[in-house]
Structure 1
Amino acid sequence: MRAVILDLDTMGEGISLEPLKACGIELSQWPATSPDQVKERIADAEIIITNKVVISAEAINDANKLSLICVLATGTNNIDMQAAETAGVAVKNVTAYGTPSISQHTFGLIIALANRLKQVDRDMTDGAWQRSTTISAFLHPMTQLAGKQLTIVGSGELGRAVARLAEAFGMQVVFAARPGNSNDSRPSLHEVLPNTDVLSLHCPLTEATKGLINADNLPLLKPGALLVNCARGGVINEVDALKALRSGQLGGLAVDVLPEEPPHDGHPLLDALSENLNLLVTPHIAWGTLEARQRVIELTAENINHHLN
């Protein structure tokens, strides 16, 4: 059975494809595939393996040997699901592969904001400690996490993993009600923001969560609260959040995601990185430990074996 990987480079270096090869498939691989190359590269494939390459209805209908599409991610928005169903093509994704990796990255960002590590590092580079008149150079106000409230939006596996880390640090964890779900008995985001010291987002991007954190509700947060987004770009209004950070309303802001990735046309948060702000931007790498990326391959191999059997 012939299989083709369309965008292997999106998985980074260091992973092994042996679990896929052990499925007994004939595997072709491409580092990247542009939209006009898709049709040719999947023409004889029975299995397509893709991360972000779009598989359109036209592509599905033209690939007359196709029986399975494997997505190297949780989201399947790059696949025309209706066309796949009509054509009898199974679509399989992977889930829960990066929980330890993403929760680690999330809490790393929280700690970095609380201790203002980026600003301290910048001052150290400028010789601030050498100029200090005391043994400790208290360069920026730091926040002790113990006893503080962490509000989490998104109570899935990832949100719960972050909650366990927070509890180990002595934080009080509150889960806000799911946005757009009127039957959720938990307190609404509007209700919990005034007592929130750290707000961490782990919800999907939907109509209910687009721009969830914005100029209307940012003032409800405790002055100096920390905001972390490792969910999806667009769940927060980044321009509003940046204004709140510059004004001191937010004490720190960290994101691992932006609305457009990669941000070829730039973004206000990227422009602001040169400013002396408690601001961290990482390039959608929270999921990217070698262990998590290898787990994606292993889970995809399981999907293929299940399909073949």
Structure 2
Amino acid sequence: MNNLPLHIVADENIPAVESLFGSFGSIRRLPGRHLKREDVADADVLLVRSISQVNAGLLAGSSVRFVGTATIGTDHIDQAYLQEQDISFSSAPGCNADAVVEYVISCLYMLAAEQNFELLGKTVGIVGVGNVGGRLQRRLSGMGLNVLINDPPRAERETDSNEQFTALEQLLSEADIVCCHTPLTTTGSHPSKHLLNQDNLDSLKQGAILLNAGRGPVINNQDLLNWHRQREDVTLILDVWEHEPAVDAELAARVRIGTPHIAGYSLEGKVRGTFMLYEAFCQAQDILPELTLDDCLPAAELTDLTLNKTVDVRQAIDAVYHPAADDRRFRNSLLDTVQQPVNFDRLRKEYPVRREFSSLTLHGVDSDSVDGRLLLSLGFKLGGQI
């Protein structure tokens, strides 16, 4: 596949494909959810997201020699088939991990203001401690929160680790906030599909918060709905849904913050995912990369903010991202039940530009102060007076 130019097929919603892959050949943009065999028959390179199922049914007889998914998850890719066909493959683990972490933190600060509790006094349980969960653990621990982690595959691999893993039932019963960040697996000794279900949901503490920004089927949504009818004391935050783009209307009505699988949709996360595929492609083709990630990122609309003398952490968070707007758009998309799945995809396709905390430099706060250290732990940059 070293002969250029190449034919490249890419999901229409993957950013920066033209700037990163344009020098390699022609690019054809298509809706990822509806890719067909004839769409990729003459393609050399296929770039997808999590909504495209890449397997023999799609690729048999095609010219594709490189498949890249600009996502952390790979459950939509038949990697065994790719290996059998000697098709190079790359994913983008960790590309949008910081975006998901900041989605979680923003949601929790929003709830803390609504429900009048102090976030720093809570115990957070993280189920699945990989790229996203691990970064969430480090950021929350850096903020001073008590964090419990559950990850049986890691616990089995890391017998000599200093990490203290907690059994799922114990975590559910002790954590004030439970965050799910596992990949979706259906095989092996610890499958994650329906990990939370009617058998263990009732272990959640009274008044707990349950958040899923990993994969929808990790929580059995029908069980969650039936259970929540009796346990309305638990606050639900769902960014992912078991049968998306179809969303259960009653479950959505019970969720305090509902969003259409956009937790990782920061501009940095999206572009970083494409850039990781660019690097992997260059390596596979023995090409020296000529571009950097910064070459593809525009300046943020808001780069500096001076905080009031009485530092309000939420002021800084809200200046970058406030989940209420996403929740409102999501609820409006549910009003037309026939069009709801189409609306779900449209919200993702037309998602407004969102930046990460690191794009904002805060002024008026001392980096050695308690507030300064907290803001640095959250991921903001600190500057002097302006």
TM range (shorter): 0.7 to 0.9
Q: 1:289 offset after TM fit, Å?
A: 0.8
- Note if contact 1:113-1:253 (Cα within 8 Å) is conserved in structure 2: no
Question: Structure 1 210/55 Cα, relative in aligned 2: closer, same or farther at 3 Å?
Answer: closer
Looking at structure 2, the residues matched to 221 and 34 of structure 1 have their Cα atoms a distance apart, in angstroms, of 35
**Partner AA of 1:205 in structure 2:** L
Aligned equivalent of 2:99: 101
Aligned equivalent of 1:53: 52
**Partner AA of 1:48 in structure 2:** L
Q: 1:246 offset after TM fit, Å?
A: 4.6
Looking at structure 2, the residues matched to 20 and 60 of structure 1 have their Cα atoms a distance apart, in angstroms, of 21
Worse-matched range after superposition: 183-192 or 232-241: 183-192
Q: Indicate the structure whose relative CO is greater, using CA pairs within 8 Å and at least 6 residues apart.
A: 1
* Secondary structure at the counterpart of residue 234 of structure 2: strand
Residue 172 of structure 1 is aligned with which of 139, 146, 171? 146
Residue 178 of structure 2 is aligned with which of 186, 190, 199? 199
Aligned equivalent of 2:196: 213
Residue 67 of structure 2 is aligned with which of 58, 69, 82? 69
Question: Would you tell me which structure has more helix in proportion to its own residues?
Answer: 2
- Note if contact 2:148-2:165 (Cα within 8 Å) is conserved in structure 1: no
**Partner AA of 1:308 in structure 2:** Q
Pair 1:269-2:251 in alignment: yes
Pair 1:304-2:286 in alignment: no
Aligned equivalent of 2:306: none
Question: Structure 1 99/34 Cα, relative in aligned 2: closer, same or farther at 3 Å?
Answer: closer
Q: 1:58 offset after TM fit, Å?
A: 4.6
Looking at structure 2, the residues matched to 206 and 257 of structure 1 have their Cα atoms a distance apart, in angstroms, of 15
Q: 1:252 offset after TM fit, Å?
A: 1.0
Looking at structure 1, the residues matched to 205 and 33 of structure 2 have their Cα atoms a distance apart, in angstroms, of 46
- Note if contact 1:99-1:161 (Cα within 8 Å) is conserved in structure 2: yes
**Partner AA of 1:167 in structure 2:** S
List aligned pairs for 1:41-190, cutoff 5 A: 41-51=39-49, 52-63=51-62, 65-116=63-114, 141-178=115-152, 186-190=165-169
Normalised TM-score (structure 1): 0.78
Q: 1:232 offset after TM fit, Å?
A: 0.6
Q: 1:43 offset after TM fit, Å?
A: 2.5
Worse-matched range after superposition: 215-224 or 297-306: 215-224
Aligned equivalent of 1:19: 20
Q: For residues 79-130 of structure 1, what are the alpha-carbon distances to aligned partners after superposition, in whole Å with 9 as ceiling and x for unaligned?
A: 33333222221122111101110100011222223333xxxxxxxxxxxxxx
- Note if contact 1:50-1:72 (Cα within 8 Å) is conserved in structure 2: yes
* Secondary structure at the counterpart of residue 200 of structure 1: strand
Looking at structure 2, the residues matched to 19 and 111 of structure 1 have their Cα atoms a distance apart, in angstroms, of 36
**Partner AA of 2:46 in structure 1:** I
Question: Structure 1 182/253 Cα, relative in aligned 2: closer, same or farther at 3 Å?
Answer: same
Q: 1:213 offset after TM fit, Å?
A: 2.0
Q: 1:245 offset after TM fit, Å?
A: 4.3
Structure 1: gaps spanning 5 or more residues:
117-140
Looking at structure 2, the residues matched to 219 and 242 of structure 1 have their Cα atoms a distance apart, in angstroms, of 12
Q: For residues 239-293 of structure 1, what are the alpha-carbon distances to aligned partners after superposition, in whole Å with 9 as ceiling and x for unaligned?
A: 4434554544543110110012211x644322x25xxxx6211110011011111
Looking at structure 2, the residues matched to 221 and 87 of structure 1 have their Cα atoms a distance apart, in angstroms, of 46
* Secondary structure at the counterpart of residue 125 of structure 2: strand
Looking at structure 2, the residues matched to 259 and 282 of structure 1 have their Cα atoms a distance apart, in angstroms, of 13
- Note if contact 2:93-2:131 (Cα within 8 Å) is conserved in structure 1: no
Q: For residues 164-223 of structure 1, what are the alpha-carbon distances to aligned partners after superposition, in whole Å with 9 as ceiling and x for unaligned?
A: 332344321111242797677733111232221111111112232222222332222221
Q: 1:15 offset after TM fit, Å?
A: 4.3
Q: 1:297 offset after TM fit, Å?
A: 1.5
Looking at structure 2, the residues matched to 61 and 266 of structure 1 have their Cα atoms a distance apart, in angstroms, of 35
Q: Alignment length, in residue pairs?
A: 272
Looking at structure 2, the residues matched to 226 and 174 of structure 1 have their Cα atoms a distance apart, in angstroms, of 14
Question: Structure 1 114/244 Cα, relative in aligned 2: closer, same or farther at 3 Å?
Answer: farther
* Secondary structure at the counterpart of residue 193 of structure 1: helix
Aligned equivalent of 1:131: none
Looking at structure 2, the residues matched to 193 and 34 of structure 1 have their Cα atoms a distance apart, in angstroms, of 35
Looking at structure 2, the residues matched to 77 and 172 of structure 1 have their Cα atoms a distance apart, in angstroms, of 31
Question: Structure 1 82/246 Cα, relative in aligned 2: closer, same or farther at 3 Å?
Answer: closer
Cα RMSD, aligned residues only? 2.7
Residue 264 of structure 2 is aligned with which of 251, 272, 287? 287
Identity of aligned residues (%): 25
